[in-house]
Structure 1
């Protein structure tokens, strides 16, 4: 399904969910349909061995509906999670064995897509540094020679700015948006038929969990959203999606309202949902072999090493992230400012929009049973919103 069709479907379900609360209850009205559910696969994998990972991923793909019908003959964009600095490890382990997507998982995904007949594979990330992308990936442990030796052409793009592209692509948020009505992105997120979020199974200090949906947070270019001016060489953060103290560059769609709370636990979950609206996720794959709890990177003091020894995959991002949240020992249906969530629960917000269910009882888990996969992270945010 082309991106335009996916966004049209998002608009239909989002619009219905947003309109439902203003309709007076009536016995003659049908109840709003339950958000959709899709199977989520879990596999045990304790080592970063590309062949072992590939074998487990192929098994998971078979169990959740198959990979070939999704990607054959298509351009597939894969958004990885290289948040922070690829050269900065923690607790004696490198970044790729703690808080970033591991290159062995990247290699396995490339082989998986190649075997399934993808026409083109494009690995994407938005970094916060000036170094050319390929050398930076090598520093992260990526074997670019092996990755590009596949029958399917493999490309790499840093989407923090335009890079090799000429113009930004504007994406309107279906249903009008939570923070912004539209966003401008690198066209790589438009020029693909299939979009994969290759994330990490870990906590996030502000969002509670970083999984497939939160990985989408990084698709917005910091050249436009890192400061209140257009700077193609920016290495800033995306503070406007956290604190909202300033808006994006002139000429970029501005915020819907300046009177909404300027607090990260309010803004971050809403940007997560907006980002999934503008670039719907076709497949989530989560690296849970080795990871961290307590936050998303080494700038968070409470970070601890975790070794769940898991791979998780699913076609519906909300369902997949909800099961992953349950694997981490949390309730994905937790009320606001409870469980791992310091503020709003973005999984519940997405479910309310009809994007997928966050109720584990409605989600079929295939492969390793949830009870056997459960690996409690034991972290909860030290501060919560009132």
Structure 2
């Protein structure tokens, strides 16, 4: 019997920070997928190559890791205070769902370049040379991101000498500011505490900092779960017992933070919260073979994303690290030595990263005015993705 041909959809494959994903302009999507719902989710799942029981995403654009199983939908913003609306979807690798519950901080760095190149930013706001300020409305969490995009002769400058651990080649630096980065209207500390006692079956009672900045994150001490903070991916991702433990911690942290009502709901909310463990500085060899000296970092952080240890650090989790480090008494601040800190350099599996945050105490409640970091981004491929007609 005859089969319908594939449909072509304009798309751009981009790296942003230590992630990469498929970028779309909203108006280029099939009409049914221009609205939230099943049609949109089915389309993105098919584009990325999910659900894949082999967990390889061979038949799609995904790269079989949380860092490479992502989709972005952009549109010109109707708000005069913003240039572009940015919607992020974390596509599950082996399950049939797209998680819309949070942002991707790494891909945030690619939003500005894409928006400029695709006419989503008013030309009057884009200089021929210098820095173009792109005001981004992050739809998932309802927050503003401001990216500084370098321009040369009227084109986005992608090449440069900025090096980012976790990315092989240098590129142009893109400073990104996450304004008031608490997720939605929630408090920075959902429980009202800088440190909570989190009871986790099979693990015990863990000290935890539950913070909602950049992305909801559960921070625990590495030593409390038998680690040093110098671990690389293989030490965790090849250990089924460890992965199950971290997922249990994540589920119970999600309940305590009010993100879910019961631990069973965590399975369908893989993107948030994140779990990360922290430790004081120590020397180790990064996954690239680069030596990270204890003297070069303020603390060590390892983070879990979509059930596995991340190869570097999620951008939104870096925002959470910056925010927690800036507030005395959190586990992150204590791992960094305590005291007042406007910025920290933390060690991760691929190397290190410097992040900063401005925190203030207003009427006894902590708030983060903004978090800052530098990333890079570039177009990897542009044109069309093809999907079978039945997938949209």
- Band of TM-score, shorter chain: under 0.3
- After TM superposition, the score normalised by the length of structure 1 is 0.26
Which protein is richer in strand relative to its size? 2
Which protein is richer in helix relative to its size? 1
- After TM superposition, the score normalised by the length of structure 2 is 0.26
Structure with greater contact order relative to length (CA < 8 Å, sep ≥ 6):
1
